[in-house]
Structure formats: structure tokens, C-alpha cells
Structure 1
Amino acid sequence: MTATLFDPRTLLAESRLGVLATIKADGRPQLSPVTPYYDAEADVILVSMTEGRAKTINLRRDPRATLEVTSADGWSWATAEGVATLTGPGDDPAGPEVEALVDYYRRAAGEHPDWDEYRSVMVADRRVLMTMTVDHVYGASLR
């Protein structure tokens, strides 16, 4: 029997659902389900989030973050640790903060059917783009 090598970065790239851990003011973890996009070339993870939510507040205070993803069957997992930078929220639908969210959407999901509507919603919802530089990755495949 030949053993296959497991690369946790491959699972990061394939996953569109994960759990983001940030650090609360009292030091305990805050866990949030997110839709991550892993850019393997830049070795960063992108997540769209809303200003004022716990994860955003936590990252503004302490930018350390951890993201975990699992395979669809639950037998493999990958964890990425790093430092996050937040961009936004923007108040101009044509501004650079919103353009960063447009780029994230295109990379993660393709073309939106109405970019003007998307840009307006990003401003109205006070959306923020998290860019986490990946410092360390680990994981396992149990099959």
C-alpha cells in the first residue's frame, strides 16, 4: 500500500467554509463560521466580514487569527495561523475598500450578476475585508 502525502494548503484552497478564531478581550477564543478564500500564490486567506461584529472588533484589537477548515467527509482538516489586516469599511461604492471586496468576490465566487448592487450593499452593510498572512499551517488526513 502506498501512502499519499497530505498537503493542508490544498484543503485550504478547496474549502469554502471554515471557522475563524479570534481573541476576545478576556483572552478566550471567539469562533465564527466564515467563507474563506485561500490565495496560494500570495499565501493569504481572505474573508469578508461586517464592521462592529465580534471578530472584527477582536481583530482590530489583536490581529492574530486562526482558521480551520475540514473536508466534506470530515476526515481531513487544515489549520492556518497568521496575522490579519482589515480593509474598510468603505463609504464610496467606487472606492478602494469596496474594490478590494469586489476582487475577493471574483476570486472566491466568480462574476456577480449586478456589480453596482453588490458595491452598494458592501457600503450599506459596512463590509470589511480581512487579509490574513499565513504564518503556519498544519493538519491531517485520517484516511
Structure 2
Amino acid sequence: MSQGPAPRVLSDEALSELLGGQQFGTLATNKRSGHPHLTTMLYKWDPEARVLRFSTTADRIKVKQLRRDPRAALHVSGGDVWSFAVAEGEAEVSEVTTVPGDSTGQELLAMVRGSVDPADEDAFLQQLVDERRVVIRLKVQRLYGTALDVNG
């Protein structure tokens, strides 16, 4: 039986590009038991600041877990099943947006800039308040991942 190609370690730049090229990933936080809590999340990658941002509601279990233990990781699949990136770091949770257009609301709006019609921004900011939205900021300290070059 012949052995196929070995996985290729991706450079920091390639990993950053992979993160920037996707929108969804699996966020891992830590339960009190030490077991991982996994959830699929929409995210926004800021490569210059090395920060991943997520929008969620204040009552989600991941928010409580991150306030207790800020260690987290995001797993993102590449264009095929053989490539992936993992971003590890410590997360912080913003204050709940309570007034349309407050700093948390503006940060959430910036995450979706271009997908919200400017005429609808006021309604969007009010919806964020009504939903008690927060921003999770994962400050990436380590990136790793691989790709497997397979010729089909």
C-alpha cells in the first residue's frame, strides 16, 4: 500500500487568508467540566489586529463560559476536507448594546457593513438592542493548520 502525500503546514499568511476567505467556523469554549462546548458561528476576521469578532446574544452559554474562562479557539475548514485553520487565543465579551448606536452597536454594525442598507441602519441598531447583542472578540495568539495536496 503506497503512502499518500503528507499534510503541508500552512504559513501564517496562508492561515490568515483562509480565515479571511470563510464566514463560518466552529467556536470552542470550555464548559465547567473541562469538556469543550462547540458551536457554529458567523465571524469577521481582522488580520491586522489579529482579532476574530462574533455577534451573539448576552444570554448564550458561550458568553457565560467565556466570562468565566476566556480561552477559546475557532476551527475553520478550507476549500476541501483536507485543509483547515485553527485560531487560538483569549476572548473578551463586550457590554450589551443598550442604546441604538452605542459603541457595541457601532462595532456590530461595522461587522456587517455593506450588507445593511444605510436607510435601515436605525432599525438594525434597534434590533441589536432588542436582542441584547454583544461582541465576542477573540484575540488570536496562535494560528495553525494544514493542507493536503491531493491530485484527483
**Length-normalised TM-score, structure 1:** 0.90
Give runs of aligned pairs for residues 1-143 of structure 1, distance below 5 A.
Answer: 6=10, 7-106=14-113, 110-113=114-117, 114-143=120-149
Report the equivalent of 2:4.
Answer: none
* Structure-2 separation of matches of 1:129 and 1:78: 22
The 2-side partners of 1:111 and 1:19 are apart by: 23
For structure 2, which runs of at least 5 residues remain unmatched after alignment? 1-7
Distance (Å, rounded) in 2 between the aligned partners of 1:19 and 1:60: 19
Alignment check: 8 A CA contact 2:9 2:146 kept: no
Equivalent position amino acid for 1:52 in 2: D
RMSD after superposition: 1.4
CA distance in 2, matches of 1:71, 1:28: 25
Q: Distance in 1 between matches of 2:112 and 2:85?
A: 22
Give, in angstroms, the shift of residue 119 of structure 1.
0.4
TM-score normalised by the chain length of structure 2 = 0.85
Paired with 2:30 and 2:107, the residues of 1 have a C-alpha distance of 25
Could you tell me which amino acid in structure 2 is paired with residue 22 of structure 1?
T
SS in 2 for 1:116: helix
Identity in percent: 36
Residue identity matched to 1:120: Q
Amino acid aligned to 2:132: R
Displacement over 6 Å in runs of 4+: none
Question: Which structure has the bigger radius of gyration?
Answer: 2
